[in-house]
Amino acid sequence: ALRGILHTILYQRVLGAPPANRHLEVESTLFELTFLRCDDEGMHAMVEERIEQFANAIDRAGQVRGQVDLSFFERRQRKGLLGLHNVEERVCWERWSVPLRIQSRPYQHHAERAEAQAALEEQLSERLCSIISMCSEKKEHLPPIESLAPGTIAYEISTTNTGESWGVDLFKRMLQATPPMPAVS
């Protein structure tokens, strides 16, 4: 489910030249669903890595709730201190938060499992349609494509395990939200 959601958002929002604008049709291995993903192996590898990190964190903590955030940035060069050097800054133009609840309830009967599977498939289908609809409607905040140089759009996928203590979670969020040290050129 998470794989389909992340790839759908990425496909709808990644701008620019190939390979980002080429796509692959993907059939879900768990549901009777098909979704599009960008034909970019680096992007696909990052999605897979973050899904695995999320699943491992949930397993280790024994939690049933978590969240995955997908943020899009535009990289801009600006003059540094006293104009002596350029500094890269990342300007976030969109963030998606995907709250997740893990269901690991054992089912007594095959019919009960099939019913739960069908309900989850329907919810996922509705979510994917909702994402596509939202992305089609809300475009005024997107950076203009003609002003973008190759490689200026970046994205980041981060995960949060809601079972963490408030202090640890806050500290992790601060570290994740803090932009990297500026690159000097």
The stretch 40-47 carries a mean pLDDT of: 89
pTM of the model: 0.73
Mean pLDDT, residues 119-147 taken together: 84
Least confident of 25-29, 39-43, 81-85: 81-85
Give CA–CA dist 4/37, Å, rounded: 8
Q: How many CB atoms lie within 10 A of CB 106?
A: 6
Taking the mean position of all CA atoms in its chain, how far away is CA 1?
A: 12
At 97-124, the pLDDT tens digits run 999 888 777 777 888 888 888 998 999 9
Torsion sign, CA atoms 155, 159, 165, 166: positive
* Cα–Cα distances in angstroms (integers) from residue 48 to residues 6, 12, 141, in the given order: 10, 18, 28
Q: How far apart are CA 114 and CA 117, in angstroms?
A: 5
pLDDT single digits (tens) 26-36: 888 888 898 88
Torsion of CA 163, 166, 172, 177, to 10 degrees: 120
Owner of token pair 């993907």: 26
Give the mean pLDDT of the chain: 78
Phi, psi of 157 (to 5 degrees): -115, 120
